[in-house]
Structure 1
Amino acid sequence: MATEKFELYQWTTIGNDLLFRSRQCLATAPSEKIQMLSGRVPTEVCSSGKSVNLVFAGQYSAGKSSIMKVLTGREDIAIGAGITTEKTHTYDWGGITVVDTPGVHTQLRPDHDEITYRAIADADLLVFVVTNELFDSHLAKHFRNLAIERDKAHEMMLVVNKMRRCAKGNSQEAQNVIREDLRKVLAPFTPEDLRTTFIDAEAALESKTETDGEIAKILLKKSGVDGLTHELNRFVREKGLSSRYTTALYSLEQILQEALASESTGDKDIDALEELLLQRRRALLDTQDRIPRAVEGEIQNASSQIRQEGRKVADMINGSADQKAVDQELQAAQDRVQNLAEQLEKSVQVVIGKHMKALDDRVGDIANSELAKELLPRLVHRIKQASISPEAMKNLKKASDISSRLGEFLVRNSFTPKTGTLGGLFKLNQYSGTATHGAVKAIGKFFGKSFKPWEAVKWTRTVANVGRVFAVAGTVLTFVLQIKEDADAAQLEVDLRESRSAVRSGFNDAAHVIEMHFDKATQSFVSSAISSEIENVDSQLNELRNLQQTRSDLFQNLLGLLEETRELIKSIHSTESESVS
């Protein structure tokens, strides 16, 4: 077995088991109120509508099915000589949708191309497989169509299979030779852009049946499967796909919190305070989920317009193109892209501001609810009854009864010295004035006014065709058409096609850079403004629950499930942090 595991698979298997055990625990609780909560527990970490689509495509007989079999460990995937995949086959792999497609450009079955294209359209990650013999002209054309025309380069991995057919096997030396050969075909992209991985799936399959342990280890190492798994994990982190696997876990976390609150302490004030904190937590959790989804719509709209700008400029490049006109339109298109990026930042601020205002209103409603109005005077009385004040708290020894411990908790977490009230317990303390003003003011440091998408775009990629070279001059990408009367017509068309592809690629890169920038900035904002506040609420809930030392077995079991849930969420988010850093 490979030493590195595919993280998405681990998250789903662990997460689904956690959901199952939590549902069972809640369903068998003595309290009918807690039993009812079991119906709200999600059935799986990632539903079929939200699961990551991992699509395998590429060369006929390149070993796509074998790679899938190695990766998933499924025995029901057919492999062998001939066209083993006549149509797309979809497999559920622990909450990941894995799609096997027919080989493309076999010339034996041209209908396979359309079948494959339909599957690729919905791919989150496309694994394009070729053999060590690399691309023929048909396959190269198909690859470029996917990478550039259909804008899949940023969702694509290139896997070179059957490496032991090389004279030196799957060695670093053999990989370096193939990598250099690939550069000629992949331009304007590079092998590094496409996370190119070299493997031998047959060697990995043989390692599973090899009885000699040492030989099995050698076969597995030579197969290079660990490298493939590593690159898949890196892609998942960079694309932020892990967020699809935390939604159900956040829901479970909230349900377990409510179940814990339902396991009464016997103290009405503590129970009521827990309920108010949980209402606030639920409001924060909803906002944490809604902001990224709302911002995503704005991002996708802008990136779609940016890609369209690239297509319009590329369409101008033909045999009779006027260089000055194309240069001018290219400059204008880049200016429009910069404007789109600036407009996107403003629209994102508006979207976030609206959601923060809604959160502020919702938290205000909780603070002004009948439950809060009835509870707060009682809590103030308990503080006075326990003779606890902000000044005396620092000298307070460990309280021996629940009333004193609760009074100490309230003073430390909620007392506002200027007003002498407990209002701080129910406010979003980070923001002064309205939430809209605070949110818009706060996001500047996350999104950055100086963001320039072109600074991160690889305009240095060149298309080295006869007389046609792309070069950077400031922010202007110029091209030179030196069409000679005796130029070969066929070669001219090839060169023009390459030039159009390079322009489209540049704008696709810009769209991708903007998508990544705003996705990461939104995540950072939500983490700072919302997630940290949820952590504060959780800390207060934990303190409240520790006020009474003796708890039921059910309470302890629920507490254990809650800790497991938080650890899994933390593990998933840690991979995102690694990607950002």
Structure 2
Amino acid sequence: MINFTQIYTNFDHAIDNLKAILDQSDRPEAEEYRKQLQIETKALRANPILRVAFVGQYSAGKSTIISALTGNRQIPIGSGITTNEATPYSWNGIEIMDTPGIGTERQDHDDVTYAAIEQADLLIFCTTHMLLDDHIINHFRKLAYEKRYGDKMMLVFNKLSAEAGDDDQKIANYRASMIKALHPHSLDEFPVCFFDAKDYCEGVDEDDKELIEISRFPDFIKALNQFVQERDKLAQLSSPIRRVRGYTEEIERNWFCDKSAQNEPFLEVLTRLTRRIREERHKLALEVKRLSLNAGSAIRTFGSDFANDIPEFTSQIELDNRQKELEIWILEVYTQSEKDFNKAIENSVKSLQDDVTEILKSNLVSDFIATFESETELQSKSASKGWDFENMTNQARFLGEFGRDIGIKVSQKAIGPLGGLSTGSLGAAGSDAHKAILIIGKSIGFKFRPWQAVSFAKNIGNVAKFAGPVLGILTIVGEIWTAYDKSKCEREMREAQGQIDLEFAQIALNLELQFKEQQQEFESQTFDHLEMKIRSEREEYHNTKTGNSEQLGKLRRVQQQLDTLIQSLR
């Protein structure tokens, strides 16, 4: 589980350690690196990871929950109305909005709260066992279904210790009450947490680990983490961290390397390869994000259009036919998504192959490889110039293996007597890349899980469950409805429409998560693998060829800190 509250702290530690290395240097470029670090630090914090709005009745303990999360004990807390406007708090890249209580007969409070909800990524609905009545249930249903916010809602029960009894039994009772109150809707559609924020605050302030555990508040923090993961909210942090990682490599190469005539070309080749890999990673991420957003948006639009069309249906046959159309349309979206994703992977690999081929055919590499006309001649040349013969042969072998790793065709004739490569006959491996991409010795062809496996049938079944009864309302003709009857039917209609929206949002989210999972698997097999090979080669070389080992050791530790951060974002 990602502990996103530590991302900023760990990044700041890495930045401070890197600044300490820069402060020990009298090189003129050190000041420019300091400026770049300031820019990246601001970039990391430029946009909040998550916008969270806390809503609920005024005595549900919303302000206490926010105080527990942020550690800010100056937030007004009391048993009455303590919040009259939406108050923002910034916490570890998260923008938290404390809203006035809803349902207090203050229309201005409700207006402020609904405005905050519109802007939020996550809506946390706060209640307690004491407030669990028809009034609060109706507000929850209104937000989840009538207002169609269900796909971004979390339900939390605060003040768990306020009632005597076993916590597990109390939680079971609260769940049962909520399940009954929400019928025919399902509580399983929402993340639900039970905790006591006041106990957690006291546990933290008094360093009482047992009280912290009893409070169950850490479970709530984990649920927030899960939401961040599923919505891919941490992806925006990786770019500035990766750029800083690149600065450390520049510093290592320019400040600590042996730049002899023998070694400088090889190190420059490694730098160019790394740069191309990172550029390709970024391009693929943008393309997958575009595909994911388009596919998810299409499914959500299907649901929204269907929900809006509900009042127009006049028979069960009409409804059934539309449902069958939806199943076909969404299956087509899944099928096309799989094709589009694999095409994006093919294009990425082909682009990377072309980039690496271009580098291996460059004058820089050609001049380097030209020395390998024969082993005897190279040994003679190495001896006369004081070069390390074994080191050069290892460098040549590395370049040959690297080319083969990404599917570049390197024939036995091309690799020469030392197992390296010549640049005269390099080309992309195979013309049938569209069938199976051969890379790093593996055949890659990604398949999205069948729609049955992602509970698609269940979601569509739920749509029918909620849309069907509405037909009974629509087909009543000639009856005299009271104002109450009309209001009740309109509310039921809005709830059914909101439930349909929620079901389709879950289908869309599942597909978006599959895009992300497949992207991460591919990156692990390709970009991560290739960057690690280059890094290992560079470090192995530097371990024997660098000076000022103390400062280099510190720089390596900064690199490890940044690598750990990047990995945590995955």
TM range, normalised to the smaller chain? 0.7 to 0.9
CA distance 1:383–1:557, shift in 2 (3 Å): farther
Moved more, 182-191 or 288-297: 182-191
User: Residue 450 of structure 2 aligns with which residue?
Assistant: 451
Aligned partner (choices 162, 166, 181) of residue 165 of structure 1: 162
User: Residue 342 of structure 1 aligns with which residue?
Assistant: 335
Quote how far apart the aligned CAs of 1:300 are.
1.4
Q: 2:428 & 2:56 partners in 1: Cα distance?
A: 53
1:52-91 to 2 correspondence within 5 Å? Answer: 52-91=50-89
Structure with bigger helix share is 2
User: Residue 407 of structure 1 aligns with which residue?
Assistant: 392
> Deviations along 1:305-337, whole A, 9 cap, x unmatched?
212212222234349731111111121122111
**Equivalent residues of 1:188, 1:462 under 8 A apart:** no
User: Residue 403 of structure 2 aligns with which residue?
Assistant: none
Quote how far apart the aligned CAs of 1:161 are.
0.8
User: Residue 404 of structure 2 aligns with which residue?
Assistant: none
CA distance 1:95–1:514, shift in 2 (3 Å): same
User: Residue 303 of structure 1 aligns with which residue?
Assistant: 296
User: Residue 235 of structure 2 aligns with which residue?
Assistant: 243
Quote how far apart the aligned CAs of 1:520 are.
1.3
User: Residue 285 of structure 2 aligns with which residue?
Assistant: 292
User: Residue 126 of structure 2 aligns with which residue?
Assistant: 129
User: Residue 51 of structure 1 aligns with which residue?
Assistant: 49
Q: 2:345 & 2:146 partners in 1: Cα distance?
A: 34
> Deviations along 1:118-158, whole A, 9 cap, x unmatched?
33334333322112235555544443344345654443321
CA distance 1:134–1:61, shift in 2 (3 Å): closer
1:353-502 to 2 correspondence within 5 Å? Answer: 353-378=346-371, 385-386=378-379, 403-415=388-400, 417-421=412-416, 432-433=429-430, 437=434, 447-448=446-447, 451-452=450-451, 455-457=454-456, 459=458, 470=465, 481=471, 489=485, 492-502=489-499
Counting matched residue pairs gives: 541
Moved more, 48-57 or 250-259: 48-57
> Deviations along 1:506-563, whole A, 9 cap, x unmatched?
2222111111111211222222222211112112212221232644433232222112
User: Residue 178 of structure 1 aligns with which residue?
Assistant: 174
Q: 1:444 & 1:435 partners in 2: Cα distance?
A: 12
**Equivalent residues of 1:140, 1:185 under 8 A apart:** yes
Q: 2:253 & 2:375 partners in 1: Cα distance?
A: 21
Quote how far apart the aligned CAs of 1:54 are.
3.3
**Equivalent residues of 2:245, 2:559 under 8 A apart:** yes
Q: 2:374 & 2:14 partners in 1: Cα distance?
A: 42
User: Residue 474 of structure 1 aligns with which residue?
Assistant: none
Quote how far apart the aligned CAs of 1:44 are.
4.8
Secondary structure of 2:258's match? Answer: coil
Q: 1:383 & 1:261 partners in 2: Cα distance?
A: 31
User: Residue 533 of structure 1 aligns with which residue?
Assistant: 530
Q: 2:504 & 2:329 partners in 1: Cα distance?
A: 11
> Deviations along 1:273-322, whole A, 9 cap, x unmatched?
11221111111112222312222122212222212212222234349731
User: Residue 396 of structure 1 aligns with which residue?
Assistant: none
**Equivalent residues of 2:121, 2:152 under 8 A apart:** yes
Moved more, 304-313 or 405-414: 405-414
User: Residue 279 of structure 1 aligns with which residue?
Assistant: 272
> Deviations along 1:370-390, whole A, 9 cap, x unmatched?
3333333247689953489xx
Q: 1:346 & 1:487 partners in 2: Cα distance?
A: 54
Moved more, 128-137 or 291-300: 128-137
Residues 1:99 and 2:92 are matched in the alignment: no
Residues 1:201 and 2:197 are matched in the alignment: yes
**What letter matches 2:287 in structure 1?**
A
Residues 1:557 and 2:549 are matched in the alignment: no
Q: 1:406 & 1:311 partners in 2: Cα distance?
A: 64
Q: 2:414 & 2:312 partners in 1: Cα distance?
A: 77
Q: 1:76 & 1:83 partners in 2: Cα distance?
A: 16
User: Residue 512 of structure 1 aligns with which residue?
Assistant: 509
**Equivalent residues of 1:160, 1:198 under 8 A apart:** yes
**What letter matches 1:236 in structure 2?**
V
Secondary structure of 1:459's match? Answer: helix
Quote how far apart the aligned CAs of 1:236 are.
3.1
Secondary structure of 1:362's match? Answer: helix
User: Residue 230 of structure 1 aligns with which residue?
Assistant: 222
Q: 1:480 & 1:33 partners in 2: Cα distance?
A: 70
Q: 2:318 & 2:389 partners in 1: Cα distance?
A: 80
Secondary structure of 2:41's match? Answer: coil
Q: 1:91 & 1:405 partners in 2: Cα distance?
A: 60
Residues 1:13 and 2:9 are matched in the alignment: yes
Q: 1:78 & 1:252 partners in 2: Cα distance?
A: 40
TM-score for the superposition, normalised by structure 2: 0.82
**What letter matches 2:222 in structure 1?**
H
Quote how far apart the aligned CAs of 1:241 are.
3.1
Which runs of 5 or more structure 2 residues have no equivalent in the other structure? 401-409
Secondary structure of 1:180's match? Answer: helix
Residues 1:254 and 2:249 are matched in the alignment: no
> Deviations along 1:162-184, whole A, 9 cap, x unmatched?
22232427x11010000111123
User: Residue 406 of structure 2 aligns with which residue?
Assistant: none
Secondary structure of 1:234's match? Answer: helix
Percent of aligned positions that are identical: 25
Q: 1:434 & 1:319 partners in 2: Cα distance?
A: 53
**Equivalent residues of 2:52, 2:96 under 8 A apart:** yes
CA distance 1:115–1:482, shift in 2 (3 Å): closer
TM-score for the superposition, normalised by structure 1: 0.81
What's the C-alpha RMSD, in Å, of the aligned pairs? 3.8
Q: 1:151 & 1:446 partners in 2: Cα distance?
A: 37
CA distance 1:324–1:119, shift in 2 (3 Å): same
Quote how far apart the aligned CAs of 1:461 are.
9.2
**Equivalent residues of 1:357, 1:434 under 8 A apart:** no
Quote how far apart the aligned CAs of 1:424 are.
5.9
**Equivalent residues of 1:128, 1:157 under 8 A apart:** yes
CA distance 1:403–1:319, shift in 2 (3 Å): closer
CA distance 1:459–1:150, shift in 2 (3 Å): farther
Secondary structure of 2:55's match? Answer: strand
Q: 2:181 & 2:393 partners in 1: Cα distance?
A: 70
Aligned partner (choices 516, 519, 525) of residue 522 of structure 1: 519
**Equivalent residues of 1:130, 1:159 under 8 A apart:** yes
Moved more, 286-295 or 543-552: 543-552
